[in-house]
Every structure is written in C-alpha cells, then in structure tokens.
Chain A
Amino acid sequence: MIDSEHLASQIEASQDIHSDAMRLTRDGLREVVEEERSARREFIVSSARTATTAGLVGLGAFLASKLTPVVSAATPSSTVQTLQTAAALENLAVAVYTKAAGLPPAVSGADNPVILTFVKTTIQQHTEHAQAFNNVIAELGGAKQTGIDDTVYKAVVVPALGKIAGPADVVSLALTLEDAAAQSYIAYSGSVAPKTSAFKLFATIAPVEAQHVAILRAVQALLAANAPSLIALPPNAAALPAAAGSVGIPTAFYPDAAARPATEATVA
C-alpha cells in the first residue's frame, strides 16, 4: 500500500520543482514575449495608419531626386522605429558615397583603384543593409524607410560637404557615418529581443560597418602620411608604417556611446 500522506507530500515536492523550473523559463522567455507584444502593437498601429510622407530633405538636387523625405517622429520606441532609423542611416551612407563617387577622382580619391572599388562595394553593401532592414520592417507591418537620417545629414553631412577639398575629407566624412552606424547597431541590439530577425541583422551588420571603419582609418592614416601609393591590394606590406597595423583597431571593445537615437528617423 502506498502511504497517502507520503504521496501527497511527494506531489507537493514535485509542484515545487515545477514552479522553480517555470520561473526560470519565464525569466528566459520574458523578453521574447515582450518583443512579440511589441510587434503585435506595431502591426495594429501601422495597419490603422495611412502612411504619409512629408517635406523633402536635401542633399542638393542629386539627393532630392533619389530619396524619399523623412520626418522625425517623437513616438515611443519600438522595433520598427529602430529599424527605420537604421534604414535611414544606410540610405544616408548610400547617398553620401554616391555623391562622393560623382566628385572628380582626384578629390574623391577614386583615382586610386582600391578606393574606387571600396566606394562601389560599400555602396552595394549599404544598399543591401537598407533593403534587409526594410524587409523586416515590412514583415512587422511597418512603413519602409526610403529616406535619409535628416538629423545626421544636417548636423554632419552638410557642414562636411562644404569643406571637401580632397580624399582625406571624403574619408573623414565616410568614417563618421560608418562609425555612427556601427555604434548604433550595437546599441540597438540591446533594445530588440534576441533570436528575432531584427537582432540578427544588427548582429551581422555591425561587424561589417566596423570593418568599413577599420579600413577607412587605415586609409586615413596613409593619406595623412602622404603615402597614398600604399593603399593597394596587395599592399607593399614591408613599406607600411608600423602604425598602419594598429590605427584601424583602436579599441578592444567597440563603443556605442555615439549611437544615434533609435527614434531619430522614424516614418510616421
């Protein structure tokens, strides 16, 4: 015979274990659930909205002809808004690199075949990033971001464009934009749930932007050292200055303090 009192105690002990296990599971799933709720809210809100666009932003006539305008919105942060800002940063990068490619080669640095290849390849990569961000936005029911980050454009790009006199100026501007993108995506990864498409994009794009930064830093140093001939593939490794080996990798941990606000370039 089974002692009914003992059996009751066993059941109680089993329930305790179950409760502890469920608490652990809940902790682990809480963020995923929050993300799902957020995504559902996004979908409902966006479905009820008529997408609007307003006001042209300028990067001169060139950009105005290619880009859809952007309005900064002060609505609550969400995955879609974060992705819209990310897409706007990518669109801005595409626009700036494209603008640079249209400058006289001696000014843009495109008279160097490696720099020319870098510009073309990087335009393509940023275009793919923007498309990927917009694809996820669409999956979440949001409005795609086809415009540029107007805040960065006005604060960073406009002043820099007016001062471009040579390749070093172009590199400096590109470096600023790439670094902002890398830092932003690291920071944004903390505001979206892991195992989501948004997180995976930030995790696989941030390293690529950081690679752009590393190469641009190295190029910048070689230009500053008046050694543009060393910007070559393959390089004359023996002739590279010692600092070329470290200038592109200044930190052990990539910072995110200069991340752009996640709601900086949302679409209403």
Chain B
Amino acid sequence: MNTRNDMQITERELHQMTADMDEMHHAVMPKLSSALDDIAEGIRHDLAVLSSIVQKETSRRSFIKGGLVGSGMLAGGAVLAACGGAASSSGTPTPMMNGSVDLTVARLASSLEVLAINTYDAALKAATSGSLGTVPPAVATFATTALGHHKDHRNAWNAALQKAGQKAQTAPDPALNGMVQQKLKMVSNVTDVANLALLLENVAAETYANGAGLLQSKANRLVSMSIAPVEAQHAAILSFVLGQYPIPNAFFPVKDARGPQDLSAA
C-alpha cells in the first residue's frame, strides 16, 4: 500500500493501547458468545412453532380437500386456490419463515455487513494498487480495523442464522449494492472512498439503532444495541478525517435506516 507515516506514536503508548484493546475484546467476546446462543435458541423456537403451524395448515387443507371432495361439493383444486396457494411439494415451510422478525432482521444486518466488507475490501485493493493516490497511514489503519469489525458483525449474525438451521447470508444488501458499485467505479482518491464509507457506516448505525426495536428477543436487541454504537464510532472517525464535525447530532438519526424490504429488492 502506498502510505506515508510522517509521525510515529511511541512504542510504549502503542503497546499500552493495543493491550487495552485486547483486554476489552476478550471481555466482550464471552458475553457475545452467550448472546449468540440465545439468539439461535430464540430463532429455533420461532421456527419450530411456525413449522408446526404450517404442518397443521397443510393437514387442514388436505383434510378440507378430501372432506369436501368426498362430500361431492367442490373440486380440491378450487379449495386450495381459495386457501391462498399450495404448500411446497417438499413441505418446507419457507414462506412462513418470513414471519420471524428476528430472522429477517438478522439476515438484513448480515447483508449490510457483507456490503461494508466488500466496499472496504475494494477500497483497500484500490489503495494497494495506487489508484487512490497517497493513503495516510491513519486512514489505512482505520479501514483495516473497521473491516475487521464488520467481519465480526457478519460472522455473529451468520453464526446465529446457521445455529438456527438457516443458510448464512453471503450476498450484500440488494437495495444498496447497485448504488455502491456505481460509486466505487467513480472513486479516484481517499476522500471519495471515505465519503462512501461514511455513507455506509451511517446507514448501518441507523439500521441497528432502528432495528433493535423491531427484534422480539432481548438477546438480539442487545447484540444490535452493541453494534450500533460501533458503526456510529466508525462514522465519527471518518467524519473527523474528512474535516466534518464528527458528532453532529444529539440523537442518532434513523431516517435512513434500512428495513426488511431491502432483502426483496432486485
């Protein structure tokens, strides 16, 4: 990477900072692991109940079909149509899973994290290739650190999804990805990339701050509440580097928060 380091922090200070960071990290991870178990358990419970309902719904439809056909009143196909469509041939209750708010929010959160990861990855590759010009060392360190955080966030949500028997979310938020890809094609310097990253960090923080209230599980809410401040911190550091006042609002806005509808965007 094309970087320049005009001033060094002392080795002792850096060592102390690193030690402090490690200590905080290790203090948080056991609690997070426990919270993730709770998340997975909550989602498993939701899915079990929903599966039970769908199975009964399928049985009910079969029963009605058989009963009414047997009674000679109606053809079974017409009854199924009136009931809103046939269940899948495999019996998998996929459509009903959308009823699990926590599951949907977890997938949305993961999709935003994937988008952030892809964007920071692309930015770091561009920096390495020299296409962004000189990259200040603090900016490079920030990007690497933020990238690591977003990976941790994605892994947390995906671990919860997988523990609940769901597939991990590996695709970026479909509603935002197109815009981000367009902007990435146009970036030519560090300021452009930092502005794009600031946009994504603010959207992520707003989504977590707003989405926390949508979650049904307390454990899920706490995970969301522990991530929102970190995304907001990313935004503050980026704002500072860009020369903007880093904490412009007394209350973190939620007007640009993404919603579950993002997942159905083309």
Identify A241's interface contact among B8, B52, B225, CB under 8 A.
B8
Whether A249 and B9, one on each chain, are in contact in the complex, defined by CB atoms closer than 8 angstroms, is: no
Encode A109-153 as 1/0 by CB contact (under 8 A) with B.
000000001000110110011001000000000000000000000
- Tell me, rounded to whole Å, the shortest Cβ–Cβ distance linking A237 to chain B: 4
Stretch in B84-92, B144-152, B160-168 with 4+ CB within 8 Å of A: B144-152
B140 touches A10 (CB 8 A): no
Q: Tell me, yes or no, whether A93 is within 8 Å of chain B by CB.
A: no
Bound-state Cα–Cα, A186 to B222, Å:
7
Contacts of A227 in B (CB 8 A): 7
Contacting residue for A235 out of B50, B240, B250, CB 8 A: B240
Give the contacting residue for B236; candidates A13, A28, A214; CB below 8 A. Answer: A214
Tell me if A203 and B233 are in contact (CB < 8 A): no
Q: What is the number of residues of chain A that contact chain B, defined by CB distance less than 8 Å?
A: 78
Asked whether B134 lies within 8 Å of A243 as measured between CB atoms, the reply is: no
On chain B, the residues within 8 Å of A129 by CB distance are 250-251
Q: Cβ of A250: which chain B residues have Cβ within 8 Å of it?
A: 17, 20-21, 24-25
The reply to whether B14 and A243 contact each other, CB–CB distance below 8 Å, is yes
Q: Which of B60-68, B123-131, B173-181 contacts A (4 or more CB under 8 A)?
A: B60-68
Interface string of A237-263 (1 = CB under 8 A from B): 111111111111111111111000000
A252, B141: Cβ atoms closer than 8 Å = no
| Contact residue among A208, A239, A245, A256 (Cβ-Cβ distance under 8 Å from B252) | A208
Binding site for B on A (CB under 8 A): 1-3, 6, 9-10, 13-14, 16-17, 20-21, 23-24, 27-28, 31, 117, 121-122, 124-125, 128-129, 132, 182, 186, 189-190, 194-195, 199-215, 218, 221, 224-225, 227, 230, 233-235, 237-257
